[in-house]
Every structure is written in C-alpha cells, then in structure tokens.
Amino acid sequence: MRIVFQPTLWDGVYNLVFGNVGAAGEIDDQTNNSNGDRNKILATVARAVDYYTGCYPGRWIYFCGNTKEKTRLYRMAIGLNWEELSKKFEIFGDVGQENFYPFHKNMEVSAFLVKRKLFPN
C-alpha cells in the first residue's frame, strides 16, 4: 500500500491517493483486497493525513471514493469519529458540482476537503 498527496489544479489543495502498488510503481486504487483490514487501512490513512497536515497546516486535502460505496464508507468513518476529528480539522463536503459546505453527520457528499485547524478546539 502507498499513500500520496498530489498537487491539484486548485492552489493549496492536494489530492489524497492511496492503494496497492503495482509492478511499475503505480498506485492501483481500484483493487478491492477483501482481506478484512479495511478499518486498519482507514486508520493508517487518517494518521497519514494528520501527520501531513501537521507538516503543512495551510494545505487542503481533497479525497473521494472511486465508487459511491467507498465515498459513503469515508462519510460514515468521519461521522463515527466526528467529535474527535472536528476538534482538529475543518471538514467540508461536496454536495455537487464542487459546492463545498461544512460537513455534518449523514450529509450526502461526493467528495471531501479537509484542513488542519490552526487553533484546534
């Protein structure tokens, strides 16, 4: 597995990409391992975002699932950990056509923007 933060066309916004590493070194975010380590992977990605935004607190992290089901999984994981996450991060959800609004539990979104709060609660 590999986690990468790639620059986007938006100034100060970095795309979070993670997945299996292919033979040529590319990241394959399409493969479903189905080996029961989903929660461990999500926790590792969350730690990577925490570390990265600690090093680069002015940067926004953009991410979404490559399927509606994966995006829903990310939404549920954020919702389950909302109390802790909202103390440290500003989290926005894309409600359609790049219209981002402050995230709240059970909000239907197609993508997320996350940034470390400069002055956490």
Nearest to 49 by CA among 62, 38, 39: 62
Structure confidence at residue 2 (pLDDT): 87
Residue 48 Cα distances to 14, 61, 101, angstroms: 13, 11, 24
Please report the pLDDT score of residue 94 as a whole number: 95
Query: How high is the pLDDT of residue 79?
Result: 92
73 neighbors 99 (Cβ within 8 angstroms): no
The phi and psi torsions of 7 (rounded to 5 degrees) equal -60, 150
The pLDDT averaged over each successive group of 10 residues in the chain (121 residues) is 92 90 71 70 91 96 92 92 94 91 92 92 68
Q: Can you give the pLDDT at residue 86?
A: 94
* Token pair belonging to 52: 């990265």
pLDDT at residue 50 in the model: 96
3-state secondary structure (DSSP) of residue 92 = strand
